[in-house]
Amino acid sequence: MIYVHLGAGAGDKDEGAHFRCGFTEFIKKRYNSDSKIFAVEANPLNIDKLNFCYKDFKNVEIVNIAISQNISSQLTLYYTEDDAPHYQVCSSDLNHVKKHYPKSKIKSFTIKSMSINNFFEKYLGNHIDYLSIDIEGLDYETIMSINFEKYQIKNISIEHLHLNNSEKKNVIKHLTKKGYSYCGFGYDHNNFDYLFRKKKILWNILLSKILHFLKRKYYPLLNFFIMDKKKL
């Protein structure tokens, strides 16, 4: 199994998240000798924690880069010390940080960046079993730019928290066209993400058409009627 975590943060070693990370927990629960894990994190301050998070696991590659569609090979990221120590809203979108910390002093740093397709080409083959996308404001442009003809991804979990209604609609429509079906909540322990599976489930596709209209509090009700919602 190949697991790819974009925006891995500090894994399950972030005290600000009560030492929880749903996708990290999912990986560790299913891990075996054939597993390969790619944890991608832009903030260098989290890398030591990630190394500690996976210290007892083999076949883990921790990559300190930013995923971006920017043509430049470097990206400026913004953060505030008020979000220390693991800077969960560190982002290339200055307004994204300001929205969460409107009265804080904003700092920045520059990090190597790479498009999602270039990352797949450099580090992976054409097959991915589980992909989790949680990259603070860049989730939409990342999922929309994946070359699905070249890269076969079985399961995609994408954070919806920062998507507006139009972006949610576009993501669902785009992934449906690429052969995916909405399958309920993804791997985030807070249920802030959607799960899409490379499988044509007509009932789920029909229900997903109203997803972008709903407030988040109604997602559990919709998901009650979803088929094949197990996080395989």
Q: Say how far apart CA 28 and CA 131 lie, in whole Å.
A: 15
The architecture (CATH level 2) of 2-224 comes to 3-Layer(aba) Sandwich (3.40)
Rounded to an integer, the average pLDDT of 70-86 is 83
Closest alpha carbon to 155 in 174, 177, 127: 127
Assess whether pLDDT exceeds 90 at residue 162. Answer: no
> Which pLDDT belongs to residue 93?
83
> Which pLDDT belongs to residue 135?
87
DSSP string, 157-171: EEE-TT--HHHHHHH
Assess whether pLDDT exceeds 80 at residue 232. Answer: no
Most confident of 7-16, 63-72, 86-95, 219-228: 219-228
Q: What is the pLDDT of residues 97-110, one digit of tens each?
A: 898 899 999 999 89
Q: Are strands 66-67 and 127-133 parallel, antiparallel or unpaired?
A: unpaired
> Which pLDDT belongs to residue 125?
85
Q: Where do the structural domains in the chain lie, given as residue ranges?
A: 2-224
Q: Using a cut of 0.75, tell me whether the model's pTM lies above it.
A: yes
> Which pLDDT belongs to residue 71?
66
Q: Say how far apart CA 102 and CA 106 lie, in whole Å.
A: 9
Q: What is the pLDDT of residues 12-58, one digit of tens each?
A: 998 878 889 999 999 999 999 999 999 999 988 899 999 999 999 99
> Which pLDDT belongs to residue 74?
85
